[in-house]
Amino acid sequence: MRHTLAVLVDNKPGVLARVSGLFSRRGFNIESLAVGVTENPEISRMTIVVRGDDRVLAQVTSQLGKLIDVISICDLPSSESVDRELVLIKVSADAITRSEIMQIVDIFRVKIIDVGTETLIIEVTGNQGKLRAIREMLERFGITELVRTGMVAMNRNTKTVNGDDT
Partner 1 sequence: MTDATISGAKALIECLHNEGVDTIFGYPGGVLLPLYDELYDADIRHILVRHEQGAAHAADGYARATGKVGVCLATSGPGATNLVTGIANAYMDSVPIVAITGQVPTPLIGNDAFQEADITGITLPITKHNYLIKDVNDLPRIVKEAFFIASTGRPGPVLIDLPKDITTDEIEFKYPETVRLRGYNPDTKVDTDAVKRAASMILQAQRPIIYAGGGVIISNTSSELLKLAETINAPVTTTLLGIGAFPETHPLSLGMLGMHGTRYANYAVQESDLLIAIGARFDDRVTGKIDAFAAQAKIIHIDIDPAEIGKNVRVDLPVIGDARGVLQLLLSHLREKQGKPIARSGAWLGKIDAWKNKYPLQYTPSDTVIKPQYVIKEIHKACPDAIIVTEVGQNQMWAAQYFQYEHPRTFITSGGLGTMGYGFPAAMGAKVACPDRTVIDIAGDGSFQMNSQELATVVKNDIRVIVAILNNGYLGMVRQWQELFFEQRYSHTELTGSVDFVKLAEAYGAIGIRAEKPSEVPSAISEALAADRATIIDFVVDPTENVFPMVPAGAAINEILEQEVTG
By CB under 8 A, residue 149 contacts partner 1: no
54/136 with CB nearer partner 1? 54
Which H or E element spans position 49? strand 43-51
By CB under 8 A, residue 161 contacts partner 1: no
Task: Pick the closest to residue 5 from 32, 25, 26 (CA basis).
Answer: 32
17/95 with CB nearer partner 1? 17
Task: Pick the closest to residue 165 from 48, 8, 5 (CA basis).
Answer: 8
Q: Both ends of the chain: CA-CA distance in Å?
A: 33
By CB under 8 A, residue 38 contacts partner 1: no
By CB under 8 A, residue 21 contacts partner 1: yes
- Residue 136 C-alpha from the chain's centroid: 19
Quote the least distance from Cβ 125 to partner 1, whole Å.
31
Q: 73 burial class (0-12, 13-18, 19+ CB within 10 angstroms)?
A: buried
* Residue positions counted in the chain: 166
By CB under 8 A, residue 55 contacts partner 1: yes
By CB under 8 A, residue 62 contacts partner 1: yes
43/86 with CB nearer partner 1? 43
Beta bridge partners, 46, equal 7, 35
By CB under 8 A, residue 29 contacts partner 1: no
By CB under 8 A, residue 9 contacts partner 1: yes
Q: Which residues bind partner 1 (CB under 8 A)?
A: 9-10, 14, 17-18, 21-22, 25, 55, 58-59, 62-63, 65-72, 163-165
